[in-house]
Amino acid sequence: MLCDVCKCNDATVFLTQILEGKMQKVNLCDACSKEKGVQDPTGFALADLLLGIGAAEEIEKGAPTQRCPVCGFTQADFKKTGRLGCSSCYVTFGEGLNTLLKAMHKGTEHVGKLPQRAHRAVELNDRMRTLTENLQKAVAEENYETAASLRDQIKQLEHELAS
Amino acid sequence: MKFSNVMSTAGEWLRGEGPHHQIVISSRVRFARNLRNRAFPGWAKKAERTAILDLIRPRVEELPEMQDSFSELLQDLSALEKQVLVERHLISREHAAKGVGSAVVMNRRQTLSIMINEEDHLRMQSIRSGLQLKQAFKLVDKVDSALESKLEFAYDQRLGYLTACPTNVGTGMRASAMLHLPGLVLSELINQVIQAVSKIGLAVRGLYGEGTEAMGNLFQISNQTTLGEKEDEIVGRLTKVIETIIGKEHDARQVLIQKKSNTLWDQIGRAYGVLTYAHAMSSKEALNLLSIIKLGVDLGAFPEDRRLPIDELFIDTQPAHLQKTSQQKLNAEERDHLRAQIIRERLKLFPKPDISKIMRESGNGATARPSNNE
């Protein structure tokens, strides 16, 4: 099992914490557990750790006060309420949330019901994937005529996806 | 439909006729849905919340399932009326705390209830008597599909339906059943069951959900996670686990009859005595004693036709129902007196527990009525 923070070393520290009746789990490698101060369990909260991961990454990116462009929600608001601001927050705070969701749920991907609208989007995305693969192949084979045609089709599809 | 109509007719699930109804009081399935790119209710400003409500409410009211529905803004309901709906599990405690910008719409049979601007823009719930999770799921699923054609829900290809709280993301579905487990409590096996259930990703809670105490030997069991598992798989898994618990409860009851009969008769006798003669009773005490009488009916110590009056008392003795019936606001002491009075009146014609009847049935061994294959 890989470390939830660096995602490259094997996890050796497994933490389980029950917060407000909800179980949260996180797996860390030796180096990351030291860095996060997990060796000292006093005053250590798993939620802080999980949210801290996202925050640390943002600071590196030079965006310490990340704000959802749609609703203006910040990470501090999430820390306070445990709820998100709008559906776009899942994109804005994606990385930090993924770790949280992984610890919370059975899987990391939805496998259930699809809204009718999403059916169409899935089809378009599948087509997009095939076109992109074909384009790469065409370029690799120096088949520029096909590549140009594929590029036009991708542009057209991008337009459809955006609408 | 007016509130008085809601009050005067008990919901279908309260009449208790579903499969395994002796042990499974009710089955519920709820979906959480949100509109795309609109602030979730907890974050939206009042104006936006109201705009979202105005967008959703007419779509909900025009559903064929909602003909002759009860539809009300939360700010137009009194605190007592909200509490009555909570006691009937038609709205959540969180929703009862809401005011401007929130609403509830429910059908006449009280099997479908839709909360607008609770924690999510839409919380759609179906509630059925007994173990009918699949049926409850089908109804909510149908309503969801109908609404989805008119409202654009927040949905992500990878994460599924997006919800205000990350614990609901994916299916947005919570399936739960309310179980009456006096046998497992009396034989002190309940903690084992709770532990086993929590190990397989299911949650056990008290009467009114998260953070509430288990009273009246009533337990709510539900799925804990919503991402990475299909809806019908969740419902199927939960149903199987509940069927196992039903079996365990029946076994525990049989063991009590055979090995601890004195304790059991003592419990039933005491519950009957206190309920018949007490003049003050808290709702917690009432629930705990009524639970034992209900067990008595299951085991045959009271005639089967006494089941409904007992089931009704479970709800009618709750604080808000009590005050709504008496049409006045009462303090705790007055409520306890009124509660005891109502119970005494309803139990007036209730026969004494007939223990010999249970003795004879348990003596027959395999023909004992509460069998594992109910």
Contact B164 A84 (CB under 8 A): yes
Q: Are B274 and B289 a contacting pair, CB within 8 Å?
A: yes
Compute the average pLDDT of residues B346-366: 71
Distance CA B317, CA B199 (A): 35
Q: Give the lowest-confidence range in B108-122, B198-212, B224-238.
A: B198-212
Q: Are A87 and B156 in contact (CB < 8 Å)?
A: yes
Task: Please check the confidence at residue B188 and state whether its pLDDT lies above 50.
Answer: yes
Give the percent of chain B with pLDDT over 90: 74
Of the pLDDT bands very low, low, confident and very high (cuts 50, 70, 90), residue B16 is: low
Q: What is the spatial distance between Cα B30 and Cα B123, in angstroms, rounded to a whole number?
A: 7
Pick the range with the lowest mean pLDDT from A126-135, B11-20, B108-117, B358-367: B358-367
Q: What are the chain B neighbours of A90 within 8 Å (beta carbons)?
A: 156, 159, 162, 169
Q: E strand or H helix at B83, and its extent?
A: helix B79-87
**Closest approach of chain B CAs to the CA of A31, in angstroms?**
28
CA distance B249 to B181: 6
Residue A145 to chain B, least CA–CA distance (Å): 33
Overall average pLDDT of the A73-83 stretch: 87
Contacts of B173 in chain A (CB under 8 A): 112
Q: What backbone torsions phi and psi does residue B37 show, to the nearest 5 degrees?
A: 55, 25
Give me the pLDDT at residue A55, please: 39
pLDDT interval class at B138 (50, 70, 90): very high
Tokens of B57: 């409410």
CB B34 within 8 A of CB B154: yes
From chain A, pick out residues whose CB is under 8 angstroms from the CB of B148: 115-117
Which token pair is B150?
Answer: 């008119």
What is the crossing angle of helices B231-259 and B355-363, to 10°?
100
Task: Give me the half-sphere count of Cα atoms (radius 13 Å) on the Cβ side of residue A96.
Answer: 24
Res B48 pLDDT > 70: yes
Nearest chain A CA: its distance from B226 CA (Å): 7
Radius of gyration of chain A (CA): 21
Give the one of A77, A110, A116 whose C-beta lies nearest to B160's C-beta: A110
pLDDT for the residue B187: 92
Contacts of A77 in chain B (CB under 8 A): 43
The pLDDT-based confidence of B8 (bands split at 50, 70, 90) is: confident
* Of B92, B110, B63, B243, the residue nearest B174 (C-alpha): B92
Rounded CA-CA distance B313/B306 in Å is 11
Q: Please write down the HEC assignment for all residues of B244-255.
A: HHHHHHHHHHHH
pLDDT bin (cut points 50, 70, 90) of residue B85 is very high
For the segment A20-58, what is each residue's pLDDT rounded down to a tens digit?
555 667 777 777 776 665 654 433 445 445 544 443 343
pLDDT in tens, B283-330: 999 999 999 999 999 999 999 999 989 999 999 999 999 988 888 788
Q: Is the pLDDT of residue A3 over 80?
A: no
> Nearest Cα to B140, choosing from B14, B10, B28, B1?
B28
Query: pTM (2 decimals)?
Result: 0.78
Instruction: Please indicate if any CB of chain A lies within 8 Å of the CB of B204.
Output: no
Q: How many helices (H) and strands (E) does chain B have?
A: 14, 10
Q: For CA atoms A30, A33, A37, A41, give the dihedral sign.
A: negative
Question: Is A117's CB within 8 Å of B42's CB?
Answer: no
